[in-house]
């Protein structure tokens, strides 16, 4: 038994962590918002039911439409992320 409080790890294959390209997290976030926006819109409209009308529309249709608008914003975020990724690749190649 040793008295060393921090024994060195065993030798093995070295691990190299490489950072992701700028914009990758925007693509992931935008894709998630794009997928979940209409889903949560439909869920919210279903929870509220079809009894009342808001702006002449059933709540299901209204909130599904709002979910599509949120998905469009997610698409915009994803496109901005792809643009950042492509720009960083072009500057890395030069």
- Mean pLDDT per block of 10 residues along the chain (94 residues) reads 65 83 94 96 88 80 94 97 92 78
> What is the CA 76 to chain-centroid distance, rounded?
12
Q: Specify the 3-state DSSP secondary structure of 41.
A: helix
Q: Which residues contact 10 (CB under 8 A, 6 or more apart)?
A: none
- DSSP lists the bridge partners of residue 57 as 54
Does residue 54 contact residue 62 with C-beta atoms inside 8 Å? yes
The pLDDT assigned to 70 comes to: 97
The pLDDT assigned to 4 comes to: 64
């Amino acid at each position: 038994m040793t008295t060393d409080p921090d024994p060195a790890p065993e030798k093995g294959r070295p691990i190299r962590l490489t950072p992701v390209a700028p914009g990758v997290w925007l693509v992931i976030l935008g894709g998630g918002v794009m997928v979940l926006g209409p889903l949560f819109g439909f869920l919210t409209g279903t929870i509220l039911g079809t009894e009342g009308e808001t702006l002449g529309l059933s709540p299901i249709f209204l909130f599904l439409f709002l979910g599509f608008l949120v998905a469009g914003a997610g698409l915009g975020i994803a496109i901005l992320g792809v643009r950042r990724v492509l720009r960083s690749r072009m500057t890395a190649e030069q």
